[in-house]
Structure 1
Amino acid sequence: MQRREIIKTAAITVFGAGLPFSGAIAQNRFAKYAGSTVVMNIPAHPHYDAMQKLLPEFTKETGIKVEVDKVAIGRLKEKQLLEMAKPSGDYDLACYIVMWKGEYVSKNLVHQLEPFFANAALADPAYDMKDIVPIYLENLGLVGGPKGYLAGPGAKLYGLPYGAETSVLAYRKDVFDELKLKVPETYAEFRALLPVLKERSGMGALTSRGQAGHQAVHAWLLHLNPLGGSVFDDQWKPRFNDKVGVDALKFLQEVVATGPAGIAGYGQGEANTAFLQGKAAMYLDSTSLAGVMADPARSQVVGKVSFALHPKGVRRASQSGGLGLTIPKNSKNAEAGFLLMQWLTSKQQDKAVTMLGGAPMRNSTLRDVDAVRKYPEFITFVEALKYSNPDWRPIIPVWDKINVQALGVAISEALTGKKSAEDALNGAVPQVTSIMREAGYKI
């Protein structure tokens, strides 16, 4: 079967397609929970900023109150692990980053969603699971399939995409037009453009993350995949230090050398801000920033930005990642939490959050006439999703440990000039191998 067909089949199996629904039951599914409170843990993030504007309507429609615990995204996992380790936790719904899904499931911290969707007293018959972008559903929601995190036999649903993303190239059309520069379509053109754009524009060529830990690894993966590399081979042996891995890191070093000041210490927020404030001519990262770019209250580049596909290396590839929603196992109000999750990710509310500057997770929104009129870049986003790779990073339970403690340190050392690209990646191999062996991988 082709991958898209596997995802579609998995969705039908997981979500109990064809279950009988009673209109009366569906109409009154909120009544039992009216007056209750759902506690939701979210990050400070543009998508969730937009989401919060929808919550009063949810309470008006359902009678269910929502209490939001918003924390810096860098503290999100630490706080969730503390809460989810308790016999009874404070969170009924939690936002997670894609790379945590395997760890949370391996530690038995989150609910499978199939029982909720199979419950006619809770499930919305108009939900239409097949409308969710398949790559987002697979990447953010499924655990237990091939490799432990892909669609296929054994895959179960533990979360839904909400704040999902792929990667595209945003660029200052006004700057490119003035300097008569061509938007890069390949990595060869991309590489050649960096010093030229830096010299001729007087601003950073490309903004990027560079901060030690996850941020630096995220930036490196943006180039590793299109150039044909991967973190492990098919036997889970590290291959990130091969010629392709080193070349991707050298490219990132060139990005830092030609980027805005301080780029080697940028997290996602700083990288975004540099582009929004006109300090960089290009942005290669998450589609989730598109709504902010178009907001005059938060962006100084409104009307000056165009979008293109992630440049092609040896293959066309774009990121899959972002944020999702899950229900902690120790939730006090799991069913009410599910109702909020289902409501937020419905067709109507997906369009609503998108029109407020959030990131769409449904095909119907990406193709909606009103949404495309407001965000014409959605045409490019739909094309980019054809190349989005669900195996962009190995989302195994120990990935976050490798990501933060090993590769995240090594890549930062290369970006700050402490080590060469070769020495940095070679030096990380023993630590990554040790982490994998401790986790039970026979390498």
Structure 2
Amino acid sequence: MTSMILKPTRRALLRNAAALGALGAIGAPAIIREANAQSSFNWKRFAGTKLDVMLVKNPRSDLMQSEEKAFTALTGIEVSSEQVPEQQQRQKAMIEFSSGKPAFDVTMLALHVQKRLSAKGKWMEDLRPYLADASLTSPDFDYADFAAGAVDFGKQADGAIDTLPHFIDFWMVYYNKEMFAQKGLEYPKTMDELVAAAAKLNDPAKGVAGFVSRGLKNANIPVWTSWLLGQGLETVSATGKLQTDGPEAVWAADMYRKLNKDYGPPGTIGFNWNECQTTFMQGRAAMWLDGIGFATPLEDPTKSRIVGKVGYGVTPAGPKAHHSALFGDGLGIARGSKNKQAAWLYLQYMCNKGNQLAMIKAGAGAPGRLSALGSSEASAGSRFPKQYFECLAESGKIARAGLPQIIPVTEFRDVFGVAITNTLTGADSATELKKATETFKPILEKSEQA
């Protein structure tokens, strides 16, 4: 992994996001290095405190909850945590933060959705003072170990660090190696080859779909934007202009429609990631495009019928560019919490090197720490094949934001999600995207004026 120090502007981040495979550690601020050199840190300092934590339902949260007893034994701090399904968690966060008195001390934020919304609403505590306080930050926390791209992806425009980069998600293609071998197919190198492979692998008579991805409105947007990145475009340009109804966007929507309508399983119009995951691990789909963080159950013999048959492929190149869509979650402290210092200990523990390494070893996704991403221990003894780790590393090198970093990103997903879903029932892609663009344009303009 090449070591570089990047200081991209916000506009540059919109264009390129974080290519983790090519980024190195950021230098810890001098004040942090000096403070930790004279540490008076004590894990037991806030023993007896009780923390409430709101998590998103996923394999990473399972890992965090499994560590709560160890955290309590180390600190004396009790933890009450709840996993909430993704969409409901985002809605709950909005309601709780809007009240000014959130019921939780710590929460996860989807940086690709809630980052700018969080800044506008002043939801989260700025972690910079905590990082600089030797009495609150463990000397072995090593903040400089977080990849620069991961840090910058979560950092606010004013420099505030309101979350730790707990998880970075690259989109890739899961594929059934046995099905590919039976058809004499190699993994596709281009998006056009992927469509051709889906056609050859599609076998409705045997209950096998050539391809599966999210069809449910809102949830389906990252699929469309993944194809659009193959045209070298994001949905919103660096200057804030919508790029959602041009020929490239229409091409991506047509590709989405063809894959899901012609080669997808019945009912795909209502599929979110969990339905796709179930379909794939039951051997009813040959390929599935989604985040690499959903790999865990695929290699679990108690849940999956295709253990040992799963291939992990980097998103194929498009006509003009080769990118993997990038998303990520941050873990932070609610500004309204009354237990902020104890909550900071929780963040440090859950994002420490051991737990970040455990994430990648479990196949629960890409951690933000360089030590975990580059560890030979990650693959040693893992249930996941070498290809999984290679896919993660290669995806990092070509990562680019999968959603626009705008305040009304949820409205964006709603408006364009309907348009993309409508194509599955026969609607014309160009017509739907033009209508959606006209609908969303004033929403975007208003949000930038606020």
Fold agreement, TM-score > 0.5: yes
Q: Give the corresponding residue for 2:446.
A: 438
SS of the equivalent of 2:55 reads strand
SS of the equivalent of 1:120 reads coil
1:285-300 alignment, distance < 5 Å:
285-300=290-305
Q: Give the corresponding residue for 2:349.
A: 343
- Structure-2 change in CA distance of 1:165 and 1:196 (3 Å): same
Structure 2 stretches lacking a partner, 5+ long: 9-22
Q: Give the corresponding residue for 2:395.
A: 384
Question: Equivalent of 1:272, from 277, 286, 295?
Answer: 277
Q: Give the corresponding residue for 2:191.
A: 187
Structure 1 stretches lacking a partner, 5+ long: 145-153
1:143-154 alignment, distance < 5 Å:
143-144=156-157, 154=158
Cα deviation, residue 420, structure 1: 0.8
Q: Give the corresponding residue for 2:418.
A: 409
Q: Give the corresponding residue for 2:33.
A: 18
Task: For 1:266 and 1:283, locate their aligned partners in 2 and report how far apart those are by CA, in whole Å.
Answer: 12
- Structure-2 change in CA distance of 1:245 and 1:42 (3 Å): same
Q: Does 1:46 align with 2:46?
A: no
Task: For 1:256 and 1:74, locate their aligned partners in 2 and report how far apart those are by CA, in whole Å.
Answer: 22
Q: Does 1:208 align with 2:218?
A: no
Task: For 1:15 and 1:268, locate their aligned partners in 2 and report how far apart those are by CA, in whole Å.
Answer: 43
Q: Give the corresponding residue for 2:7.
A: 6
Cα deviation, residue 34, structure 1: 0.6
Cα deviation, residue 224, structure 1: 0.9
Task: For 1:39 and 1:67, locate their aligned partners in 2 and report how far apart those are by CA, in whole Å.
Answer: 5
Cα deviation, residue 427, structure 1: 0.4
Task: For 2:58 and 2:94, locate their aligned partners in 1 and report how far apart those are by CA, in whole Å.
Answer: 20
State which drifts further: 161-170 or 199-208. Answer: 199-208
Q: Does 1:93 align with 2:98?
A: no
Cα deviation, residue 329, structure 1: 0.9
Contact 1:351 1:360 in 2 (8 A): no
Q: Does 1:319 align with 2:325?
A: yes
- Structure-2 change in CA distance of 1:400 and 1:193 (3 Å): same
Contact 1:15 1:118 in 2 (8 A): no
- Structure-2 change in CA distance of 1:318 and 1:9 (3 Å): closer
Question: Equivalent of 2:408, from 389, 392, 398?
Answer: 398
Task: For 1:256 and 1:205, locate their aligned partners in 2 and report how far apart those are by CA, in whole Å.
Answer: 9
Normalised TM-score (structure 1): 0.90
Deviations 1:410-441 (A, max 9, x none): 11212232x21011100012211110222245
SS of the equivalent of 1:342 reads helix
- Tell me the amino acid that sits aligned with residue 129 of structure 2: P
Cα deviation, residue 245, structure 1: 0.3
Task: For 2:24 and 2:167, locate their aligned partners in 1 and report how far apart those are by CA, in whole Å.
Answer: 24
Q: Give the corresponding residue for 1:429.
A: 437
Q: Give the corresponding residue for 2:372.
A: 365
Q: Give the corresponding residue for 1:332.
A: 338
- Tell me the amino acid that sits aligned with residue 434 of structure 2: N
Cα deviation, residue 241, structure 1: 0.6
- Structure-2 change in CA distance of 1:328 and 1:383 (3 Å): same
- Tell me the amino acid that sits aligned with residue 396 of structure 2: L
Contact 2:209 2:265 in 1 (8 A): yes
Task: For 1:281 and 1:124, locate their aligned partners in 2 and report how far apart those are by CA, in whole Å.
Answer: 47
Task: For 1:14 and 1:250, locate their aligned partners in 2 and report how far apart those are by CA, in whole Å.
Answer: 48
Cα deviation, residue 192, structure 1: 1.7
Cα deviation, residue 63, structure 1: 0.8
Cα deviation, residue 72, structure 1: 1.8
Contact 1:205 1:280 in 2 (8 A): yes
Contact 1:89 1:332 in 2 (8 A): no
Task: For 1:234 and 1:279, locate their aligned partners in 2 and report how far apart those are by CA, in whole Å.
Answer: 40
Contact 2:221 2:417 in 1 (8 A): yes
1:85-234 alignment, distance < 5 Å:
85-98=98-111, 99-139=113-153, 141-144=154-157, 154-199=158-203, 203-213=208-218, 215-234=219-238
- Tell me the amino acid that sits aligned with residue 377 of structure 2: D
State which drifts further: 2-11 or 250-259. Answer: 2-11
Task: For 2:79 and 2:359, locate their aligned partners in 1 and report how far apart those are by CA, in whole Å.
Answer: 17
State which drifts further: 17-26 or 335-344. Answer: 17-26
Task: For 1:380 and 1:82, locate their aligned partners in 2 and report how far apart those are by CA, in whole Å.
Answer: 38
Task: For 2:24 and 2:203, locate their aligned partners in 1 and report how far apart those are by CA, in whole Å.
Answer: 51
Cα deviation, residue 328, structure 1: 1.1
Cα deviation, residue 69, structure 1: 2.1
Task: For 1:233 and 1:44, locate their aligned partners in 2 and report how far apart those are by CA, in whole Å.
Answer: 32
Task: For 2:91 and 2:29, locate their aligned partners in 1 and report how far apart those are by CA, in whole Å.
Answer: 30
Contact 1:296 1:302 in 2 (8 A): yes
- How many residues are treated as equivalent by the alignment? 425
Deviations 1:356-375 (A, max 9, x none): 44324123223323321313
Task: For 2:45 and 2:96, locate their aligned partners in 1 and report how far apart those are by CA, in whole Å.
Answer: 26
SS of the equivalent of 2:405 reads coil
- Structure-2 change in CA distance of 1:234 and 1:57 (3 Å): closer
Task: For 2:234 and 2:376, locate their aligned partners in 1 and report how far apart those are by CA, in whole Å.
Answer: 38
Task: For 1:296 and 1:31, locate their aligned partners in 2 and report how far apart those are by CA, in whole Å.
Answer: 40
Deviations 1:23-67 (A, max 9, x none): 6612x1x22211111110012212212221111111111111110
Contact 2:35 2:132 in 1 (8 A): no
Contact 1:135 1:388 in 2 (8 A): no
